[in-house]
Chains A and B, each alone.
Chain A
Amino acid sequence: MLHMDHMSKVYRTDLVETHALRDFNLHVKSGEFVAVTGPSGSGKTTFLNIAGLLETFSAGTYKLDGIDVSNMDDDDRSRIRNGKIGFIFQSFNLIPDLDLFDNVDVPLRYRGMPAAERNERIRKALGTVGLGSRMKHLPSQLSGGQQQRVAIARALAGSPKVLLADEPTGNLDSLMARQVMDLLEEINGQGVTIVLVTHDPELARRAHRNVHIMDGQVTDLDASQAAAASMSEAAAMEGHG
């Protein structure tokens, strides 16, 4: 599903050059549930932005669902993002002025889908996350967990091939976090590829595979070691901080 080979990403200013990713290689199979871990500043978010076609990369190749996206223009990248990728963010990123129905409607609008089909998909997606009866509520009228479920419904409504989740439980309490993870596992069970960036070892353990990123590279550690190392490091940093 995701094939990144020898990828690098360099941020340049007049004075400094920062290598966010270097010789980055990662292959994610279709239907896989992969957890990406790593310390702050290791390049996790950069990886996720590039994977979601929100950023370009400096070198290397990236194939998404068999399509080489390396040299695509903005319109093509937007179309692929809209058709194949669903996003779930730590801060939910719902549009506060739109009710739940309209929030879930956003990606479908840009697909030029007929109204009847949009309507059906939105109702089904909100029903799946248990919010079918609150379609006319604004995000501010929901709890954090409910908002994240709306974000998941929004990602699901477009039937994406891959779901990219950036710390989706970071702003939730443990009960809510568990519910969200249950939902992600259920979605993955339906064949959707999931790439989850997280600091939480418990969440990482629920993935099929763990990938550890350090200094912009996927390390050679195996999955369990990588996860453990990442969590220890994170705990140590928090202790020092």
Chain B
Amino acid sequence: MFSYYLRMAWLSIRKTPVLVALMVGAVGIGIGVSMTMLTIYHMMSRDPIPWKSDQLYSVRVDNWDADEPYDEDLPGQSPFQMTYIDATNIYDAGRAYRETPMFKSWGVVEPSNPELRAENHIFRMTGSDFFAMFDVPFLYGGPWDHEADAAASRVVVLSRDLNETLFGGEDSVGRDLRIRGQDFRVVGVIDEWEPQPKYYDLNNGSFDEGEDVFLPFNLVRHEQYQSAGNNNCYQGDPAPGWEGRLAGECIWIQYWAELRNPQEVEEYQTFLNAYTDEQRALGRMPRPNNNQLYNVTEWLAMQEVVDEDVSVTLGLSVLFLAVCLFNTIGLLLAKFLGKSTETGIRRALGASRSDVFRQQLVEVGLIGIGGGVVGLGLSLLGLKGLQILTIDTEQLVTMDLTMIVAAIALALVTTILAGLYPAWRVCQMPPAIYLKTQ
């Protein structure tokens, strides 16, 4: 019977093309606007590493002014970054399954090809565990080893894009590269990898592009790599010179640990508390212990990665969809009442109310699918427009398969909901009424 309903619905749609076009247009515009905002919301709020987001922890120690919290809007929260002293102490203790301090830096990279110009690039100074912790895929080679970490070796991992620029996309492992005037050996090239949100460093833009160059964290001490991100000091400016900077109570380093189960989390928390107790005994850490371990999803929620404006706009777009659907209800009512004679004939010939109701809903469903397809097209246009106008992160304004399916499903469900009243209304009229109106 469903195929019969489908055929009848298609005939009915062909009979009133203008009315159907209006309905498809109304649903399509509503779906287009709401799906545009929903896609942005979905991409912003999604778990970037769902298979292990509960094992990766942002590590924070509450090393800040005794009299005021780091963030007055979030008084219960520790600072989002660490001092160099704390980061290196914790890193050297090596208590986590995997862990790494890191920060964003920059510098000039000189290609070996004389035809290419030297250019500034963004670096990530990090430990070798970074790559395994965040499941970074490699195109060539792999990460450097722990010995290279300890020795602060001049080794580098490049992004796929930079390898394309510098080496024409060839396997560059083992090749040399001059970075900030010193020779580095390429040990690996990362494949496409652009986590969104960029959860491992929310301090420097939640949706910023990833880095092109990855270097051992320990180079920072001897080679004076500066932070390209926030640097906050609660005891005023640090002592002069690089060593003074490293020894100052200034926070500028992010820290992550991979803890595989609750026991490891508990043990690591105990270690952190013991560490800060010890530091307090040495005259540092004026605040009581508030060392925090947040997994990826907790971290994203606490950092409010999804801006409140986006949530408000999403709400408004849903209201707009509702307005479009109210218009569709009126148009559907006009369409169904317009073919009331046919409905009456069908009822006289034995169709029950539920038969007629189902047939109307199949027709509504087809209109909804049409609206969904139009809405999908409008969403893609809207996202492209947003990409051009405001947001330069392509991944954030790209519809994944989930959102494409969601667009069609949303159109189908909402249109069927809108069609319930018109279909019910037509079914309630006694068939004799229609036949009398001949």
In the complex, what residues of A have CB within 8 A of residue B344's CB? 93
Q: Does B118 contact A (CB under 8 A)?
A: no
In the complex, what residues of B have CB within 8 A of residue A110's CB? 346, 349-352, 355
Across the interface, do B355 and A95 meet the contact criterion of CB distance under 8 Å? no
How many residues on A have C-beta within 8 angstroms of the other chain's C-beta atoms?
Answer: 29
Across the interface, do A97 and B11 meet the contact criterion of CB distance under 8 Å? yes
Instruction: Tell me the complex Cα distance, A94–B346, Å.
Output: 10
Q: Is the interface of B mostly helix, strand, loop or mixed?
A: helix
Q: Does B432 contact A (CB under 8 A)?
A: yes
* Chain A, range 45-104, C-beta contacts under 8 Å to B: 45, 49, 52, 54-55, 74-75, 78-79, 81-83, 87, 89-91, 93-95, 97-98
In the complex, what residues of B have CB within 8 A of residue A81's CB? 348-350
In the complex, what residues of B have CB within 8 A of residue A98's CB? 11
In the complex, what residues of B have CB within 8 A of residue A91's CB? 438
Known A54-B430, A89-B438, A93-B438; judge A74-B350 contact (CB<8 A): no
In the complex, what residues of B have CB within 8 A of residue A54's CB? 347-348, 430-432, 435
Across the interface, do A95 and B15 meet the contact criterion of CB distance under 8 Å? no
In the complex, what residues of B have CB within 8 A of residue A97's CB? 11-12, 15
Q: Does B4 contact A (CB under 8 A)?
A: yes
Across the interface, do A82 and B353 meet the contact criterion of CB distance under 8 Å? no
Across the interface, do B348 and A74 meet the contact criterion of CB distance under 8 Å? no
In the complex, what residues of A have CB within 8 A of residue B438's CB? 89-91, 93
Q: Does B1 contact A (CB under 8 A)?
A: yes
Instruction: Tell me the complex Cα distance, A93–B431, Å.
Output: 12
Q: Which residue of the partner chain A has the closest CB to B430?
A: A55
Across the interface, do A106 and B346 meet the contact criterion of CB distance under 8 Å? yes
* Chain A, range 16-70, C-beta contacts under 8 Å to B: 45, 49, 52, 54-55
Q: Does B354 contact A (CB under 8 A)?
A: yes
Across the interface, do B349 and A107 meet the contact criterion of CB distance under 8 Å? yes
Binary contact readout B304-336 vs A (1 if CB under 8 angstroms, 0 otherwise): 000000000000000000000000000000000
Across the interface, do B430 and A78 meet the contact criterion of CB distance under 8 Å? no
Instruction: Tell me the complex Cα distance, A71–B349, Å.
Output: 20
Instruction: Tell me the complex Cα distance, A82–B347, Å.
Output: 9
* Chain B, range 354-385, C-beta contacts under 8 Å to A: 354-355
Q: Does A137 contact B (CB under 8 A)?
A: no
Across the interface, do A79 and B352 meet the contact criterion of CB distance under 8 Å? yes
In the complex, what residues of B have CB within 8 A of residue A83's CB? 350
Min C-beta distance of B430 to chain A, whole Å: 6
Other-chain contact of A93, B15, B345, B352 (Cβ < 8 Å)? B345
* Chain A, range 95-141, C-beta contacts under 8 Å to B: 95, 97-98, 106-107, 109-112
Other-chain contact of A78, B12, B355, B436 (Cβ < 8 Å)? B355
Q: Which residue of the partner chain A has the closest CB to B346?
A: A106
Instruction: Tell me the complex Cα distance, A75–B356, Å.
Output: 11
Q: Does B342 contact A (CB under 8 A)?
A: yes
In the complex, what residues of A have CB within 8 A of residue B431's CB? 54
In the complex, what residues of B have CB within 8 A of residue A106's CB? 345-346, 349, 351
Q: Which residue of the partner chain B has the closest CB to A158?
A: B350
In the complex, what residues of B have CB within 8 A of residue A112's CB? 1
Other-chain contact of A109, B1, B432, B435 (Cβ < 8 Å)? B1
Q: Does A154 contact B (CB under 8 A)?
A: yes
In the complex, what residues of B have CB within 8 A of residue A45's CB? 436
In the complex, what residues of B have CB within 8 A of residue A75's CB? 352-354
Instruction: Tell me the complex Cα distance, A46–B118, Å.
Output: 95
In the complex, what residues of B have CB within 8 A of residue A90's CB? 438
Q: Which residue of the partner chain A has the closest CB to B436?
A: A45
Instruction: Tell me the complex Cα distance, A78–B15, Å.
Output: 27
Binary contact readout A153-191 vs B (1 if CB under 8 angstroms, 0 otherwise): 010001000000000000000000000000000000000
In the complex, what residues of A have CB within 8 A of residue B4's CB? 109
Instruction: Tell me the complex Cα distance, A93–B1, Å.
Output: 22
Min C-beta distance of B77 to chain A, whole Å: 63
* Chain B, range 151-184, C-beta contacts under 8 Å to A: none
Across the interface, do B350 and A107 meet the contact criterion of CB distance under 8 Å? yes
In the complex, what residues of A have CB within 8 A of residue B346's CB? 95, 106, 110
Instruction: Tell me the complex Cα distance, A213–B96, Å.
Output: 98
Q: Which residue of the partner chain A has the closest CB to B4?
A: A109
Min C-beta distance of B342 to chain A, whole Å: 5
Instruction: Tell me the complex Cα distance, A16–B71, Å.
Output: 76
Other-chain contact of A95, B342, B353, B354, B430 (Cβ < 8 Å)? B342
Across the interface, do B432 and A78 meet the contact criterion of CB distance under 8 Å? no
- Give the one of A55, A79, A97, A154 with max B CB within 10 A: A97
Q: Which residue of the partner chain A has the closest CB to B352?
A: A78
Across the interface, do A82 and B354 meet the contact criterion of CB distance under 8 Å? no
Instruction: Tell me the complex Cα distance, A109–B8, Å.
Output: 12
Q: Which residue of the partner chain B has the closest CB to A78?
A: B352
Min C-beta distance of A60 to chain B, whole Å: 18
Instruction: Tell me the complex Cα distance, A55–B429, Å.
Output: 11
Min C-beta distance of B362 to chain A, whole Å: 13
Binding site for B on A (CB under 8 A): 45, 49, 52, 54-55, 74-75, 78-79, 81-83, 87, 89-91, 93-95, 97-98, 106-107, 109-112, 154, 158
- Can you spell out 14 A-B residue pairs with CB atoms less than 8 angstroms apart? A49-B432, A54-B348, A54-B431, A54-B432, A74-B352, A82-B351, A83-B350, A87-B349, A90-B438, A93-B345, A93-B435, A95-B346, A97-B15, A106-B349
Binding site for A on B (CB under 8 A): 1, 4, 11-12, 15, 341-342, 344-355, 430-432, 435-436, 438
Please name 14 further chain A to chain B contacts, defined as beta carbons within 8 Å, in addition to the given A106-B349, A110-B350, sorted by A numbering.
A54-B347, A75-B352, A78-B352, A79-B350, A81-B349, A83-B350, A91-B438, A93-B344, A93-B345, A93-B438, A107-B349, A109-B1, A112-B1, A158-B350
